[in-house]
Structure 1
Amino acid sequence: MAVKIADPLLMREINKYHVLETIRCYGRISRVEISEQTLLSGTTVSAITAALIEEGLIEAIHTAPTNDSQRGRPRVLLGLVADAAYVAGIKISETQMTATIADFRGETVAVLQLPIRLARQPAEVIVDLIEDALRDCIARSGVDVGRIKGVGIGVHGIVDPRSGRSHAGPVFGEREVPLAQMLEARMGMPVKIDKSAHLVALAESWFGYAQKDRSFAVVTLDRTAGLGLWIEEEIHRGASGLGPAFGHTKVGNEGRPCICGQMDCLNTYLTVPELEAAVAGAGSGEPARNAAAMLTALAEKADAGDRAAARTVAVHAEKLGLGLSHVVNLINPEKIIVAVDTPRYGQLLEPALRESLMANSFPAHWAATKLIFHTLDDQMWARGAAALMLRDIYSAPWTAA
């Protein structure tokens, strides 16, 4: 099928998106610098920015001249108008819900965290709780609900962002839940969902260690391993739209059965019996369901000299390093960010993981890839969910009206 590459409307929207992204990325920037960064002509940049100013999305900021040659001529910089639009982001897990309201710049306006057990509750109950949390967070922000342009949701497990459905995960189990549609009906605004690893990748690109990087990978660790790939300034989703199935990378030959029906997937080495045993009896005498609590307990036992716990951490590091070596060898990203909720677990994991990665990666590729450990909190995840909706606004035909 022929591809129409000269559609004026399409090109205008693409150029508009790149101009907005450049302004967001740099905060305040001149038209000349936008032209240099986007490779668009000065005339095109002037036309786009004039329209964006008229729509109320960006503003001109007059600053004092920076050198003698410009004395008397204020420099005009362009920046996003913070209150041009607002979006909501929410992250849900087995035992906690975090909601945030962000402005057009992606800055947090309000945050609400609720320690509440969601796992395995009826879908209708979970969506009711999400709606209550969102409305409470919106009320706290002082932003009129009519100015909220949409909601981004982060969910662990298998998520199809195209259909808005959660297919499997620790919160909904193996049920297929049309989460986006259910929440849209309640909130009366667009809702987008994605898996947590993709949202962390987006958050790292906007707010974290990978700002301005063109390619990087983010690994998230709870009871399973998730991977978000950022390639050429976009989340890589693949033909299925689901993104990488990193947890099902084959990393052994011990015949460990996986829930996918195959053997020796990475996930089977992250959910070993020793991990469950490490947290059994924590606090109330029941096994902890929260992934961060499990890994915290594991790290504490390893620090206390428990050999089984130390061996479990060593297995995690070795197998994760082997799995990530495939990412290095195939993609060769600029950075690999290992995102953990438990700082001490990350510290215990890093030396052996780095050694395993180096031993299994092509040397030239490994030398060009930087390994970073980043301790995340739920607010970072929720901001990634908000950024998911902001990117949709930037790239879609939209005006302040």
Structure 2
Amino acid sequence: MKTADPELMRAINRFHVMDAIRRFGPISRVEISDRTQLSATTVSAITAALLDDGLIITHQLGGIRDAARGRPRVMLELNPAAAHVVGVKLALDQITVATTNFRADVLSSLVLPIRLQRQSVSVIADLVEDGIRRCVADAGLTMEQVSGVCVGLPGVVERIAGVCRASPVFGERDVPFAAELTGRLGGVVATIDSDVNLVTLAEHWFGQARGLDDFLVISVELGLGLGIMHNGELFRGANGLSPDLGDLMVRPPNGDSSTRLSSAASEASIVAEAREILAGGDHEHAFRLGRGMEKILELAEQGEPRILALLERAGGALGFAIANLITLFAPPKVILAGAALEAGEALVGPIRHTVAALLPPSLADVSDIVVHHWQDDIWARGAAAMTLRDLYGAPWNTTGPVVHR
């Protein structure tokens, strides 16, 4: 019988040890062994190598003693200075950048307000480069101290190839944005991913899904994003392809034909339909200024019946899709977020009611649906987390960060 590749097994074990230290540190070697199911000898060898490489550090807790030896217990945690990475989030109206340390603590961040739809790919890459260099300098670092950059954006992304197949940010398809940006950063490798995947990882590391290895994230933004965490890993298609929930086909209630979910429940579709409903009124100015969603939320709070009916239809369409996702994956938690969720029960209520009505009884109590109002930097922190995961998750020849050439 063929045995496993020893080097691969060592790399996998290193990853699990590092991940345990990241998730539960400060943590003792005994606790690492318990959580990873690795032997004490294996954990000791791996942590010794990690200490030699400067990826983790120790400190002694004087009040906590090793029961067997009576000495202060040595606790391990990630070394924040071991590496620095940059996360970037592209949206239609702004670029968000954050520089973080090896624990994904934000050292500096900035927001560049600009309408990216009006810019070419090369101009967008120039703007991102400028933002990265400025944010790194604000953190007191040089580009030589940056181990990697990850950019999150809405749309369909092939992470492995570094290609964005389609995004509202770009006016063209199949954009090799990772290579476009890497060529500008003087040796620092840039990667790209869907923004919802980055948020999903951020939720796993820092947010409401910390400690969960299975959950879904659904973002209701300009489009509809879907992040799937399964067994502690992001679910991806061929070439690291990210799923786009907006492409899912649904049949609206009382409808005779199917439609894309993005046409029924995305922020863009809600704003477009609201503008049509309110046409000729006193609200047109808000839509012209790009403040349509703000106006919708205002009118929903005032109880405007046409807007409430619109949000109920959108919530029903989302609930239909979410019920199917729960049926497929049975996640213990579904996290909803996005500007449209600020409408509160006017949108979330129909989502919950539709899910409850459509789920089979056997799954009725499986998934907790929660709303998380994200801050702008969560995408950037997720992008940084993705880069850090690449750094200590690859099967290296040593335990140090991988060197890209």
Instruction: State TM-score, norm by structure 2.
Output: 0.90
Unaligned runs of 5+ in 1: 257-262
Q: Write out per-residue CA displacement over residues 255-279 of structure 1, whole angstroms, 9 at most, x where no aligned residue.
A: 56xxxxxx41211112154234479
- Equivalent residues of 1:85, 1:103 under 8 A apart: yes
- Distance in 2 (CA, whole Å) between partners of 1:64 and 1:118 is 54
Q: Secondary structure at the match of 1:78?
A: strand
Residues 93 and 374 (structure 1), Cα distance of their counterparts in 2 relative to 1, 3 Å cut: same
Matched with 2:348 is 350
Q: Write out per-residue CA displacement over residues 128-187 of structure 1, whole angstroms, 9 at most, x where no aligned residue.
A: 000000001001000222111000110111111111111211110343211100110001
2:200 aligned partner, one-letter code: A
Residues 73 and 94 (structure 1), Cα distance of their counterparts in 2 relative to 1, 3 Å cut: same
- Equivalent residues of 2:66, 2:73 under 8 A apart: no
State yes or no: 1:287 paired with 2:288: yes
Number of equivalenced pairs: 390
2:196 aligned partner, one-letter code: A
Matched with 2:190 is 191
- Distance in 2 (CA, whole Å) between partners of 1:275 and 1:141 is 43
Unaligned runs of 5+ in 2: none
Q: Secondary structure at the match of 1:84?
A: coil
- Distance in 2 (CA, whole Å) between partners of 1:399 and 1:67 is 30
State yes or no: 1:399 paired with 2:400: yes
Residues 359 and 147 (structure 1), Cα distance of their counterparts in 2 relative to 1, 3 Å cut: same
Matched with 1:380 is 378
- Distance in 1 (CA, whole Å) between partners of 2:278 and 2:14 is 51
Matched with 2:298 is 300
- Equivalent residues of 1:59, 1:81 under 8 A apart: yes
Matched with 1:217 is 216
- List aligned pairs for 1:131-146, cutoff 5 A: 131-146=129-144
- List aligned pairs for 1:83-98, cutoff 5 A: 83-98=81-96
State yes or no: 1:21 paired with 2:19: yes
- Distance in 2 (CA, whole Å) between partners of 1:196 and 1:116 is 18
- Distance in 2 (CA, whole Å) between partners of 1:86 and 1:279 is 49
- Equivalent residues of 2:221, 2:340 under 8 A apart: no
| Selected match of 2:264 from 262, 266, 269 | 269
Matched with 2:250 is 251
Q: Secondary structure at the match of 2:183?
A: helix
- Distance in 2 (CA, whole Å) between partners of 1:57 and 1:68 is 24
- Equivalent residues of 1:201, 1:229 under 8 A apart: yes
- Distance in 1 (CA, whole Å) between partners of 2:24 and 2:138 is 29
2:385 aligned partner, one-letter code: A
1:139 aligned partner, one-letter code: A
- List aligned pairs for 1:49-68, cutoff 5 A: 49-66=47-64
Matched with 1:227 is 226
Matched with 1:366 is 364
2:304 aligned partner, one-letter code: D
Residues 312 and 223 (structure 1), Cα distance of their counterparts in 2 relative to 1, 3 Å cut: farther
Residues 377 and 279 (structure 1), Cα distance of their counterparts in 2 relative to 1, 3 Å cut: farther
Deviates more, 1:238-247 or 1:129-138: 238-247
Matched with 1:318 is 316
> What is the Cα-based RMSD across aligned positions, in Å?
2.3
Q: Write out per-residue CA displacement over residues 316-359 of structure 1, whole angstroms, 9 at most, x where no aligned residue.
A: 11110110001111100010000123563244322221111111
Deviates more, 1:225-234 or 1:58-67: 58-67
Q: Write out per-residue CA displacement over residues 102-128 of structure 1, whole angstroms, 9 at most, x where no aligned residue.
A: 110111111111111111411111100
Deviates more, 1:263-272 or 1:59-68: 59-68
- Distance in 2 (CA, whole Å) between partners of 1:297 and 1:5 is 63
Deviates more, 1:239-248 or 1:308-317: 239-248
- Distance in 2 (CA, whole Å) between partners of 1:357 and 1:392 is 36
Matched with 1:204 is 203
Residues 5 and 369 (structure 1), Cα distance of their counterparts in 2 relative to 1, 3 Å cut: farther
- Equivalent residues of 1:197, 1:227 under 8 A apart: yes
Matched with 1:260 is none
Matched with 1:171 is 169
Residues 116 and 76 (structure 1), Cα distance of their counterparts in 2 relative to 1, 3 Å cut: same
- Distance in 2 (CA, whole Å) between partners of 1:122 and 1:389 is 26
2:79 aligned partner, one-letter code: V
- Equivalent residues of 1:279, 1:297 under 8 A apart: no
Deviates more, 1:221-230 or 1:39-48: 221-230
Matched with 2:145 is 147
Deviates more, 1:132-141 or 1:62-71: 62-71
Q: Write out per-residue CA displacement over residues 278-303 of structure 1, whole angstroms, 9 at most, x where no aligned residue.
A: 798879666355xxx44332211222
- Equivalent residues of 1:109, 1:141 under 8 A apart: yes
Residues 238 and 167 (structure 1), Cα distance of their counterparts in 2 relative to 1, 3 Å cut: closer
Matched with 1:241 is 240
- Distance in 2 (CA, whole Å) between partners of 1:110 and 1:14 is 32
- Distance in 2 (CA, whole Å) between partners of 1:11 and 1:366 is 39
- Equivalent residues of 2:100, 2:108 under 8 A apart: yes
Deviates more, 1:60-69 or 1:297-306: 60-69
